[in-house]
Amino acid sequence: MSFQNPVFIPGPTNIPERLRKACDMPTIDHRSPLFGQILHPAREGVRKVLKSDSAEIFIFPSTGTGGWETALTNCLSAGDTVLAARNGMFSQRWIDMCQRHGLEVEVVETPWGHGLPADRYEEILTADTGHRIKAVLATHNETATGVKSDIAAVRRALDAAGHPALLFVDGVSSIASMDFRFDEWGVDVAVAGSQKGFMLPPGLAITGFSAKAMEATKTATLPRTFFDVADMAKGYANNAYPYTPAVGLLNGLNEACGMLLDEGLENVFARHHRIAEGVRAAVGAWGLELCAVSPELYSDTVSAIRTPEGFNATQIVEHAASAYGVAFGTGLGEVAGKVFRIGHLGSLTDVMALSGLATAEMVMADLGLDIRLGSGVAAAQDYYRANRTPLRAAA
């Protein structure tokens, strides 16, 4: 691999030099007021990115997986039932975590490439008159398949059923890249990570809790120590953590939120959509299809691209790395060997995306696929030229 080439995996993403420098800082006393000058602005920045006025923000030294565990252990008790759809690798992993914690999971099996079945959720929740279901899990952006689901529709399903279940949303590969509306969608716990839309190295689990979720923490009995939000809240009140924080990453998070808000969240989302549309134009020009089955499901952060029947898509990822020093994402789970993934999120521009598309074309041509060099690049160029935005709006 080459450190000079951008990566095109769906996370970790490319790190802007400004954020690398923010993370590279001298040691400070993490129990001093100076740390509070990093911690509290970072939390407020995250709250703004989530489009919330009141969410309690808790940031743990961990990853998105730790954020999942934070949601479950702080709000639920052993034996509780949760409702979840299995439509990709990451929804499956969250289901597996629930089961390992002694939770009952009502699983709605959903074909990979499809979104969350909000209509089926409404049926199940309406039938649950005894309110056995305590939480609904929703993966906003299924990274394995490049599928975006409608979280507002899930909230409408809960409301239509008159059901009090909590709404937990995995926004790891969507938050800070795609529109996310914590308050408007009635999200109770949102989960993100530092290494995707926030453009930082892995190492932070970023969570937002609603007032309803905070109330649930008072009666939840699942064991928790490291991920206890009550302990974290006590630490925050004293400009500290209950243990040693990742100070450099938090300083980077503060800076990352500043970058996103300076660009303007709507501009950030529009940039991601524009870059993704260019990638999708290239895929069409290659004569290939996305794993996502319809346009309203297309993710603006990752495209999972199906290769012809009988061709092992993993070869594309391996050859790109060995021959050109460029990283693409492999297929996972049920789509392993059937798709390769192009991540187009975080610190990325139209020009950077074109370099990834050009590389993908060379790789597929090398491997004998019927790809005409320049076809996908030209399709993306046409889209980018017709949909340019002022340079000042770029990240």
Q: Which CATH number fits domain 17-262: 3.40.640.10, 3.40.50.720, 3.40.50.1000, 3.10.270.10?
A: 3.40.640.10
Asked if 232 contacts 241 with a C-beta cutoff of 8 angstroms, the reply is yes
Contact between residue 129 and residue 308 where contact means Cβ atoms under 8 Å apart: no
Phi/psi for 310 (5° steps) reads 90, -10
- Strand pairing class (56-61; 133-139): unpaired
Task: Supply the pLDDT for residue 188.
Answer: 99
Task: Please provide the CATH number assigned to the domain covering 264-393.
Answer: 3.90.1150.10
Q: Helix (H, G, I), strand (E, B), or coil: what is residue 279?
A: helix
pLDDT tens string, the chain, 395 residues long: the values are: 578 899 999 999 999 999 999 999 999 999 999 999 999 999 999 999 999 999 999 999 999 999 999 999 999 999 999 999 999 999 999 999 999 999 999 999 999 999 999 999 999 999 999 999 999 999 999 999 999 999 999 999 999 999 999 999 999 999 999 999 999 999 999 999 999 999 999 999 999 999 999 999 999 999 999 999 999 999 999 999 999 999 999 999 999 999 999 999 999 999 999 999 999 999 999 999 999 999 999 999 999 999 999 999 999 999 999 999 999 999 999 999 999 999 999 999 999 999 999 999 999 999 999 999 999 999 999 999 999 886 654 44
What CA–CA distance (Å, rounded) separates 44 from 62? 19
**How far apart are the C-alpha atoms of 175 and 192, rounded to whole Å?**
6
Q: Is the pTM above the cut of 0.85?
A: yes
pLDDT of residue 176: 98
How many other CB atoms are found less than 10 A from the CB of residue 119? Answer: 11
3-state DSSP of 163-208: CCCEEEEECCCCCCCCCCCCCCCCCCEEEEECCCCCCCCCCEEEEE
**236, 46 Cβ separation under 8 angstroms:** no
Q: What is the pLDDT of residue 3?
A: 81
The domain segmentation of the chain, as residue ranges, is: 17-262, 264-393
Same fold, 17-262 and 264-393: no
pLDDT of residue 394: 41
